[in-house]
């Protein structure tokens, strides 16, 4: 039976498994029984089980041995999740505040929590159907860097600025690790009554509350992994893990001296207590090595391990700690403590190996278990007996029950994170601004102000950092977003609007608004991010289009050159003849009449209107040496013709291809084509000689035309 003041613990490590039965008397933990058994093979590597059956067999043996030693049937057990299970990721958050805001602790705390939530989003998603908040527990975080207006700063609290940003490194425990521990223990016919995290348990035992005021780092160096816990400000703030430890040193000895792993491990353990070491290599040959020779061999591996641990500490703590405490069997590695001290430029006595027999509050520990490698098992037991365990608490958020780890300090924020709430939703978010470019300059209209949200804890309004307890009720009311900025072009261009009159019709005279190739009206909405060109001076063409009198330009082509038909329309401005492209101003009066017909000759340049003079029946006549075609049909250039958009006019003056001929005379004189009574023959004489209609003419020719 599991007594209130006693506990049974199993600590399954890479090199060995420790079973411990302990009790609590007068605030001190008494070791009743402790048993340790090493793995016979490398059934575990880097803290992971590789041969389940071999590990389970050792565990069964230890449970049976402990039941015999205690005379009790042990059905309940205290365990710890290994530090190797932790996921450590970075997160970043920034926020733009009103100009000259003085940042409070609450401002920066909420920004840190947003960064933690961003870190959570970077975790591997093992179960696609579940949100990440239901797959991981956040067990701690530390601030890596704070910036004020893009400049790194020691602390944002009390600073004044516009943009604040925070980068954190956060540590998460996969929920499946807890579930897996539960499954393993249940397969042994036992029940978990206490669960903690190995780095938390060891820190709780080794680092007293007084010590936690200092910036200390605890490193638990096992065989396969090195777990790290950082404390300061009375809290254990960050955790990390390095996937290397004592086995790297053993493997260096094994490779250098051709020893199997077991013999290399023996050599490593005896290194600090012997001058010479005798062993047998894999070839069966007995060898004798000096301790100094082996120390030289392992130095590169020791340096590599120390560098990896130091780099992770810097990442978690963002600076050198005041001191480092080493526990675990790997902490006995020769030279490791000195290498860590050198890495941080600390005095050598600031990096210390913690022995189990020097830990306060522990009694009756057998001498053979005095080393640092047994501290983890002792820590798990001490945490269980003093109720310094994670365990679980349940709180209610907006009517939903949320189960979360019971860490040293649980806050409203940690509950909201566990429930998958987005902490940014608490803020009063302003509506989106409307930004536009006007004639090459950028302008912005701010959105409306939002409404801040609230957090109620048991009906009382609180902040993110308020502590919570089992069964608390939290109401999370998100902030409301302000209205997005909207505007019409009329809103932007007040003061630039007037009135003119076209054919007595009132027409608004406002700046011409172009967005790309599109002409916009004053009542059109301004799109966000648009580029606008404003033309303040408008032409007669612009107002005619607004009045609906013309749709667009109308062109004809004359010998390849385009001509706008609207330019030859009848346009008057304030009683005077005006041009199609003349500017229009407020109160101007425009009259417009589109000409129904035009004379082709009026559209052709004067220099093309070449003529010769002849006499016809003793009367002078001018003959134009010009030919004109409209849409490939020859026409008389002196006729009035109605042109339409797209017509093609071609003309040719006298030259190589054309000269006036006799028949052209009939276009310039009045001559009846009906013969008089009694006459039937038309006689045409050119310079006294009868000629055909197509005979060419020249300057001064005399022509007689009569009926005979």
pLDDT digits (tens, 9 = 90+) for 458-488: 989 988 888 888 888 999 998 888 888 899 8
Query: Are the C-beta atoms of residues 283 and 291 closer than 8 Å to each other?
Result: no
* Low-confidence winner among 139-143, 164-168, 647-651 (lowest mean pLDDT): 139-143
Predicted pLDDT of residue 2: 37
- What tokens does 630 get? 């409209």
- Choose among 243, 274, 279, 288: nearest CA to 261: 279
Q: Which one is predicted more confidently, 186 or 572?
A: 572
Q: How confident is the model at residue 45 (pLDDT cuts 50, 70, 90)?
A: very low
What pLDDT, on a 0 to 100 scale, did the predictor assign at position 301? 92
The confidence score (pLDDT) of residue 312 equals: 92
Q: What is the pLDDT of residue 634?
A: 80
Percent of the chain with pLDDT over 90: 14
* 227 vs 622: which has the higher pLDDT: 227
Q: From edge to edge, which strands make up the β-sheet containing 151-153?
A: 87-102, 160-174, 136-148, 151-153
Structure tokens at 612: 């010769």
Residues 674, 405: Cα–Cα separation, whole Å: 120
User: Among 248, 265, 345, which residue's Cα sits nearest to residue 303?
Assistant: 248
Position 600 pLDDT exceeds 90: no
What pLDDT does residue 409 have?
64
Q: How confident is the model at residue 536 (pLDDT cuts 50, 70, 90)?
A: low
In whole angstroms, give the CA distance from residue 472 to residue 458.
6
Q: Are strands 570-573 and 689-690 parallel, antiparallel or unpaired?
A: unpaired
Per-residue pLDDT for 46 more than 50?
Answer: no
Identify the pLDDT of residue 273: 79
Q: What is residue 324's three-state secondary structure?
A: strand
Report strand pairing: 392-397 vs 512-515.
unpaired
pLDDT band at 341 (very low <50, low <70, confident <90, very high): very high
> Residues 155-165: what's their mean pLDDT?
86
Q: Does position 243 have pLDDT exceeding 70, yes or no?
A: yes
Q: What is the mean pLDDT of residues 584-605?
A: 77
Q: Would you place residue 574 in the very low, low, confident or very high pLDDT band (cuts 50, 70, 90)?
A: very high
Q: What is the pLDDT of residue 608?
A: 65
Structure tokens at 506: 């009132």
Asked if residues 160 and 107 have their Cβ atoms less than 8 Å apart, the reply is: no
**In whole numbers, what is the pLDDT of the chain averaged over residues?**
82
Q: Which residue has the higher pLDDT, 239 or 264?
A: 264
How high is the pLDDT of residue 390? 59
Angstrom CA distances, 357 to 361, 375, 379, stand at 10, 9, 13
Dist CA 340 CA 218 (whole Å): 12
Report yes or no: 235 and 142 within 8 Å, Cβ to Cβ. Answer: no
Rg of the Cα trace of the chain? 49
Checking if the pLDDT of 15 tops 70, the result is no
pLDDT of residue 303: 94
Please identify which residue in the block is written with the tokens 């810097």: 314
Please check the confidence at residue 491 and state whether its pLDDT lies above 50.
yes
Q: Is 556 a residue whose pLDDT tops 60? A: yes
Residue whose entry in the numeric block shows the structure tokens 């956040």: 138
Give me the mean pLDDT over the 364-388 stretch. Answer: 86
Q: Is the pLDDT of residue 403 over 80?
A: no
Query: Residue 622: beta bridge partners?
Result: 613
End-to-end CA distance of the chain: 152
Residue whose token pair is 């003041």: 5
Lookup: tokens for 58: 């050792």
* H or E stretch at 416: helix 412-418
What are the CA-CA distances from residue 457 to residues 215, 453, 504 (Å)?
A: 32, 14, 71
48-52, 194-198, 373-377, 428-432: the lowest-pLDDT one: 48-52
| C-alpha closest to that of 62 among 9, 24, 3, 23 | 9
Mean pLDDT, rounded, for 341-366 = 90
Indicate the pLDDT class of residue 217, thresholds 50, 70 and 90.
Answer: very high
* pLDDT at 51 > cutoff 60: no
pLDDT score for 551? 72
Backbone angles phi, psi at 165, to 5 degrees: -140, 150
Range with the largest mean pLDDT of 46-60, 387-401, 431-445: 431-445
Q: How far is CA 484 from CA 62, 156, 427, 450, in A?
A: 68, 30, 16, 10
> Model confidence over 606-646: pLDDT tens digits?
666 667 788 988 888 877 667 788 888 887 776 777 777 88
Q: Is the pLDDT of residue 329 over 90?
A: no
Q: How sure is the predictor about 219, in pLDDT bands with cuts at 50, 70 and 90?
A: very high
| pLDDT of amino acid 270 | 85
Q: What is the pLDDT of residue 542?
A: 82
Q: With bands split at pLDDT 50, 70 and 90, how would you rate the model's confidence at 1?
A: very low
Contacts of 455 (CB under 8 A, 6+ apart): 412, 416, 426, 461, 462, 463, 464, 466, 474, 475, 476, 477
Q: Give dist(CA 186, CA 299) in Å, integer.
A: 44
**6-86+177-385 belongs to which CATH class?**
alpha beta
**Cα distances (angstroms) measured from residue 483 to each of 411, 433, 447, 488:** 32, 9, 6, 16
| pLDDT at residue 695 is higher than 70 | yes
Report the C-alpha gap between 419 and 324 in whole angstroms.
36
Helix (H), strand (E) at residue 35: strand 28-38
Q: Summarize the confidence of residues 542-551 as an average pLDDT.
A: 81
Residue 361: pLDDT over 90: no
Report, as an integer, the average pLDDT of 693-702. Answer: 85
Structure tokens at 333: 């590695």
What mean pLDDT do residues 535-547 have? 79
Residue 336 pLDDT > 70: yes
DSSP output for 85-108: G-EEEEEEEEEEEEEEEEPPHHHH
Q: How many Cβ atoms are within 10 Å of 251's Cβ, its own excluded?
A: 16
Q: Does domain 489-595 have CATH number 1.10.40?
A: no
**pLDDT at position 50:** 47
Mean pLDDT of 563-573: 79
Residue extents of the structural domains in the chain: 6-86+177-385, 391-409+426-485, 489-595, 604-634+650-707
Counting residues of the chain whose pLDDT is more than 70, the rounded percentage is 90
Span 285-303, pLDDT tens digits: 988 988 889 989 999 999 9
pLDDT band at 705 (very low <50, low <70, confident <90, very high): confident
The whole-number average pLDDT for the span 509-516 is 82
Tokens of 161: 């600025």
For residue 106, pLDDT beyond 50? yes
Alpha-carbon distance values, 669 to 120, 293, 649 (Å): 100, 132, 26
pLDDT at 308: 94
Tokens 């020779």 sit at which residue? 293
Question: What does the pLDDT average to over 92-117?
Answer: 81
Under the banding of pLDDT at 50, 70 and 90, the label for residue 140 is low
Looking at 3.10.20, 3.30.420, 3.90.380, 1.10.3470, the CATH number of the domain 604-634+650-707 comes to 3.10.20
Q: pLDDT grade, residue 348 (50/70/90)?
A: very high
């Amino acid at each position: 039976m599991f007594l209130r003041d006693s506990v049974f613990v199993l600590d399954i490590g890479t090199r060995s498994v420790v079973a411990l039965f302990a009790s609590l008397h007068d605030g001190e933990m008494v070791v009743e029984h402790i048993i340790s058994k090493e793995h016979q093979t490398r059934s575990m590597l880097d803290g992971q089980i590789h041969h389940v059956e071999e590990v389970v067999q050792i565990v069964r043996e230890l449970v049976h041995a402990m039941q015999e030693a205690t005379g009790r049937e042990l059905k309940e057990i205290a365990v710890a999740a290994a530090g190797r299970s932790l996921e450590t990721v970075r997160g970043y958050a920034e926020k733009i505040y009103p100009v000259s805001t003085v940042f409070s602790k609450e401002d920066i705390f909420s920004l840190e929590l947003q960064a933690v939530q961003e870190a959570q989003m970077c975790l591997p998603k093992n179960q696609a159907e579940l949100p990440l908040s239901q797959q991981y527990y956040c067990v701690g975080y530390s601030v890596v860097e704070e910036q004020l207006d893009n400049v790194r700063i020691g602390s944002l609290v009390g600073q004044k600025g516009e943009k604040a940003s925070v980068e954190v490194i956060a540590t998460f425990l996969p929920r499946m690790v807890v579930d897996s521990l539960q499954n393993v223990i249940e397969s042994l016919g036992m029940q978990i009554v206490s669960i903690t995290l190995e780095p938390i348990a060891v820190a709780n035992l080794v680092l007293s509350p007084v010590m936690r005021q200092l910036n200390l780092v605890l490193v638990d160096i096992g065989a396969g992994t090195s777990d790290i816990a950082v404390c300061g400000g009375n809290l254990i703030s960050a955790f990390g893990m390095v996937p290397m430890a004592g086995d790297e040193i053993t493997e260096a000895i094994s490779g250098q001296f051709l020893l199997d792993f077991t013999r290399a491990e023996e050599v490593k353990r005896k290194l600090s207590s012997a001058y010479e070491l005798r062993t047998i290599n894999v070839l069966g040959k007995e060898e004798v090595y000096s301790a100094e020779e082996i120390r030289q061999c392992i130095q590169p591996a020791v340096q590599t391990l120390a560098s990896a641990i130091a780099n992770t500490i810097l990442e978690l703590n963002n600076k050198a700690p005041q001191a480092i405490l080493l526990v675990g069997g790997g902490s006995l590695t020769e030279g490791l403590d000195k290498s860590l001290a050198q890495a941080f430029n600390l005095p050598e006595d600031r990096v210390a190996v913690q022995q189990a027999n020097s830990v306060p509050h522990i009694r009756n520990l057998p001498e053979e278990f005095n080393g640092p490698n047994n501290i983890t098992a002792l820590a798990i037991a001490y945490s269980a007996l003093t109720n310094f365990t994670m365990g679980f608490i349940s709180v209610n958020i907006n009517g939903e029950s949320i189960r979360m780890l019971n860490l040293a300090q649980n806050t409203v924020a940690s509950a909201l994170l566990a429930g998958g709430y987005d902490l940014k939703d608490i803020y009063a978010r302003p509506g989106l601004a409307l930004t536009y470019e006007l004639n090459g300059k950028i302008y912005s209209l701010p959105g409306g102000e939002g409404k801040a949200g609230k957090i109620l804890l048991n009906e009382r309004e609180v902040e993110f950092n308020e502590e919570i307890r089992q069964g608390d009720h939290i109401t999370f009311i998100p902030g409301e977003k302000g209205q997005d900025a909207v505007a019409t072009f009329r809103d932007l261009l007040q003061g630039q609007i007037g009135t003119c009159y076209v054919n007595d019709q009132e027409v608004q005279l406002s700046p011409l608004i172009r967005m790309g190739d599109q002409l916009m009206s004053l009542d059109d909405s301004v799109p966000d991010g648009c580029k606008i060109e404003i033309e303040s001076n408008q032409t007669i063409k612009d107002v005619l289009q607004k009045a609906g009198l013309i749709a667009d330009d109308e062109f004809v082509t004359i010998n390849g050159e385009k001509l706008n038909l609207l330019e030859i329309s009848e346009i008057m401005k304030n009683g005077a003849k005006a041009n199609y492209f003349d500017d229009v101003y407020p109160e101007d009066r425009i009259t417009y009449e589109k000409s129904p017909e035009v004379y082709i000759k009026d559209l052709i340049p004067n220099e093309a209107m070449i003529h010769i003079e002849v006499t016809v029946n003793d009367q002078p006549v001018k003959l134009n040496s010009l030919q004109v075609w409209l849409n490939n049909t020859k026409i008389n250039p002196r006729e009035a013709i109605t042109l339409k958009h797209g017509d093609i006019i071609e003309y040719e003056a006298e030259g190589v291809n054309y000269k006036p001929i006799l028949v052209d005379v009939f276009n310039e004189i009045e001559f009846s084509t009906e013969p008089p009574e009694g006459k039937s023959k038309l006689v045409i004489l050119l310079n006294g000689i009868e000629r055909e209609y197509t005979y060419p003419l020249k300057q001064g020719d005399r022509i007689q035309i009569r009926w005979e």
